[in-house]
Amino acid sequence: MNEGLVLLMEALQEVMGDGRYTTREMEDLLFTYFAYRCPDDLSRSLNKLRLMGMIDGEVDRERACWVWWAKPKAHPE
């Protein structure tokens, strides 16, 4: 994995912690922590990270939206 993706994942894991967030909540988190709004469609970007195996996401049928969460950090043994 390239260095930029590693830094991105570390930042996302730090911000997301153990929580599960809707796409809108993710937009708010990114703005709160980094004063950043995704210039593209955030759900598309998050889905690309999901397809790469970097984050997890699924449709929450009760809330009728996608929810996202960071994979747990690997702990050195």
Task: Note the pLDDT of residue 36.
Answer: 82
Higher pLDDT, 71 or 69: 69
What is 17-70's CATH topology?
Arc Repressor Mutant, subunit A (1.10.10)
Extents of the domains making up the chain: 17-70
11 vs 32: CA distance, rounded Å: 13
pLDDT in tens, 11-44: 889 999 999 999 999 999 989 998 988 777 889 9
Angstrom CA distances, 74 to 4, 9, 36, 60, 67, stand at 18, 12, 27, 26, 22
- What mean pLDDT is predicted for residues 43-61? 93
Q: Is residue 74 scored above 70 in pLDDT?
A: no
Angstrom CA distances, 29 to 3, 7, 38, 70, 75, stand at 23, 17, 11, 13, 25
Higher pLDDT, 6 or 57: 57
- 66: its two tokens: 């996608």
Contact 57, 67 (CB under 8 A): yes
